[in-house]
Structure 1
Amino acid sequence: MAAYTKTSALMARGCEFLGTEYAILCGAMSWVSERNLVSAISNAGGFGVIACGAMTPELLDAEIAGTKALTAKPFGVNLITMHPQLFDLIEVCKKHGVGHVVLAGGIPPKGSVEAIKAGGAKVICFAPTLALGKKLLRSGADALVIEGMEAGGHIGPVSTSVLAQEILPNLAADNLVFVAGGIGRGELIAGYLEMGAAGVQLGTRFACASESIAHAAFKKAFFRASARDAIASVQVDPRLPVIPVRALRNKGTEEFTAKQLEVARLLDEGVVDMGAAQLEIEHFWAGALRRAVIDGDVESGSVMAGQSVGMVTKEEPVVDIIAELMTESEAALSNRGAVAA
């Protein structure tokens, strides 16, 4: 096995926290981050994360059991904070002894962090700002992920490079902070590690791995795409706060605009309240993403991808992707040492 001395030294804190060989998490991608990809990433030394998304507790129960049948290595579960059965899902994680739970999609509701920790799991939260990162840590989060707008799927308004400069110098020395969004090569991983990151999270690079169950047409759409093809959705009504989603431009992005107008009308008419309106939007994305990932409908489905999609050019095993990232990172760190000498 290749030795990545310098990279491993910088990843040591993250690896100890995750219980892995490499501090590389796979971002939770609905319909993609399921038992096959998650177990492959964990077996290759990384940290796979099940995307619970809109799953029921029963479905999550089966998915965790299926993943445990494929790997004895650590893996996590990503839960959406607005899920109406969040606390039931937390109980499912507790039942299976899941070691790490990632809370995404908003500020964790009261009691959720405590419920997860009561089950013995570590809590990882997304922090879009320095102030919120500090608040989440005070509230019990064991680690943070800072994810920039270059990422695929739901995104914030700030780039990864800016978030890293704002948050890592302030929090990384005393806390575990993982960096995500737009990472496609190991040289960038090296840079964030040098800034104090405990590790990194990637989604787009893993979406087309050999072990990914994504439809062949979905993967081909990635191979054809360039960075500028991965665009963020547009909010059409300021009264309806919708988290932007980055996906490859197609008919589905146009259909989302129409969906927003429909939901805004229902909100105006009092047919739904704001919470129900936001869930309606989430259900739209879940269905559109499934059509693309599972059915291969890359025209009207949602082909969620980050701007690093241009670096995804072929289908390859997870173990090769991780080895390439680590080799690139190690070479970058070694070259800097040679220059300094």
Structure 2
Amino acid sequence: MTVDRLAALMARGAEFLGSETAIICGAMSWVSERHLVSAVSNAGGFGLIACGAMTPELLDAEIAAARALTDRPFGVNLITMHPQLFDLIAVCAKHGVGHVVLAGGLPPKGSIEAIKEWGAKVICFAPALALARKLHRSGVDALVIEGMEAGGHIGPVATGVLAQEILPVLAGELPIFVAGGIGHGEAIAAYLEMGAAGVQLGTRFACAAESIAHPNFKKAFFRASARDAVASVQIDPRLPVIPVRALRNAGSEAFTAKQREVAQLLDDGKVDMGAAQLQIEHYWAGALRRAVIDGDVENGSLMAGQSVGMVTKEEPVADIIAALMAEARAALARRAA
């Protein structure tokens, strides 16, 4: 009975995604590429290519490479402030990508319509109820509500609070996926029972066997506890810096210095606000690459959510999804009893 209960609770999200389970692997720059994405989709989850700072040519190659590794659905995560956003959307259209996630800010005018032109579903992040309502009115097909426990760029509100605010109001209107701080199937069961269509996890998958992340990067995760994943500090109110959660290291201090440097460029009139923000984003892309690809875990960025303490070993993606599902089933069985 509990197996059917879990399947029933996940049915809406799984149908929307076209996957066996309503578990999305969140887009992590440098990590969520063809190997991890295809492994997640092949294991019954839903993989997302992290476009990040990719050029249209690179994204084109990445989608084609992922398609060669899986015949199951996967999506593409695009950053709204990318200067070539509409060119990237055109690449997704060329490949007939079924789901596009717009992250990093409100979708620019015409972007939602451009994605829907070829029949793709649009998913957006909503860090507040008012914004969730606005996005729903603008025609997005699904939302991700991600709390500040997540890794990478974060909002100011905890996952549990967002879920309580948004799910009772909007879960009946469109599929909503909950993210941030989820590392165990018990939490998945709880959010599904609250009305979520599914969940999104990043940190739990970052150290999967199929993840190309450097062994040093993975070891840093295995050693870390929840309190080691800290949010960056904004040092200049003029710089619209979205906080980033990562494991504390020398790279965290370097980011503070980078903010001071960019603030000075603003003071000197050498850059405008848009260029200043792009410099910050490029800093993160470079710092993340140093950690994920080069294995420089001291000076690179170890973006991780507070669920990092639940990541203790390297496991195949299929085992991670199977464990999460088994834990969720067990939780539902206990509640039923």
TM-score (norm 2): 0.99
1:256 — aligned with what? 255
Matched, 1:130 2:122: no
Distance 2:7 2:280 in 1: 41
| Runs of 4+ residues deviating >3 angstroms | none
Aligned match of 1:30? 29
Give me the whole-angstrom Cα distance separating, in 1, the residues matched to 2:291 and 2:3: 37
Q: Aligned AA for 1:121?
A: A
Aligned position for 1:312: 311
Deviation of 1:269 after TM superposition, in Å, equals: 1.0
Match of 1:266 in 2: 265
Q: Given the two structures, how large is their TM-score scaled by the length of structure 1?
A: 0.98
User: Per the alignment, in what secondary structure is the counterpart of residue 29 of structure 1?
Assistant: coil
Contact 1:4 / 1:326 at 8 angstroms: preserved in 2? no
Residue 170 of structure 1, CA deviation? 0.4
3-state SS of paired residue (2:227) = helix
| CA drift at 1:175 | 1.4
Residue 303 of structure 1 corresponds to which residue in structure 2? 302
1:174 deviation in Å?
2.1
- What is the identity, as a one-letter code, of the residue corresponding to 2:109? K
Corresponding position of 1:178: 177
Counterpart in the other structure of 1:44:
43
What does the per-residue CA deviation read over 1:172-228, in whole Å, with 9 as the maximum and x for residues that have no partner? 122110000000000000000000000000000000000000000000000000000
The RMSD of aligned alpha carbons is 0.7
Measure, in 1, the Cα distance between the counterparts of 2:37 and 2:7: 22
In percent, how many aligned pairs have the same letter? Answer: 81
What pairs with 1:68-79 in structure 2 (closer than 5 Å)?
A: 68-79=67-78
How far apart are the structure 1 equivalents of 2:170 and 2:129?
8
Alignment of 1:96-111 (within 5 A): 96-111=95-110
Which residue does the alignment assign to 2:65?
Answer: 66
2:282 is matched with which residue? 283
Instruction: Give the Cα–Cα distance (whole angstroms) in 2 for the partners of residues 175 and 33 of structure 1.
Output: 26
1:137 aligns to what SS in structure 2?
A: helix
**Could you tell me which residue of structure 1 aligns to residue 243 of structure 2?**
244
- Deviation string 1:290-325 (CA, Å, 9 cap, x unpaired) is 000000000000000000000000000000000000
Q: Secondary structure, in 3 states, of the residue corresponding to 1:239?
A: coil
The aligned length equals 336
| 1:15 is aligned to 2:14 | yes
Residues 17-49 of structure 1 deviation map (CA, whole Å, 9 limit, x = unaligned): 000000000000000000000000000000000
Equivalent in the alignment of 2:114: 115
Q: Does the 8 Å CA contact 1:5/1:330 hold for their aligned counterparts?
A: no
- 1:168 CA drift (Å): 0.4
Q: Secondary structure at the match of 2:70?
A: coil
Q: Does 1:202 align with 2:201?
A: yes
For 2:285 and 2:68, how far apart are their aligned partners in 1? Answer: 26
- Give the match for residue 89 of structure 1: 88
How many Å separate the matches in 2 of 1:337 and 1:4? Answer: 12
Give the conservation status (yes or no) of the 8 Å contact 1:187–1:332.
Answer: yes
Shift in Å, 1:242: 0.2
1:260-306 C-alpha deviation (Å, 9 max, x unpaired):
00001101111110000000000000000000000000000000000
Structure 2 letter corresponding to 1:133 = A
Which moves more between the two structures, 173-182 or 247-256? Answer: 173-182
Which residue of the partner structure matches residue 157 of structure 2? 158
Q: Distance in 1 between matches of 2:185 and 2:7?
A: 13
| Counterpart in the other structure of 1:188 | 187
For the residue of structure 1 that corresponds to 2:204, the secondary structure is helix
Where in structure 1 are there 5+ consecutive unaligned residues?
none
Residue 226 of structure 1 corresponds to 225
Distance 2:311 2:264 in 1: 39
| Deviation for aligned residue 1:6 | 1.5
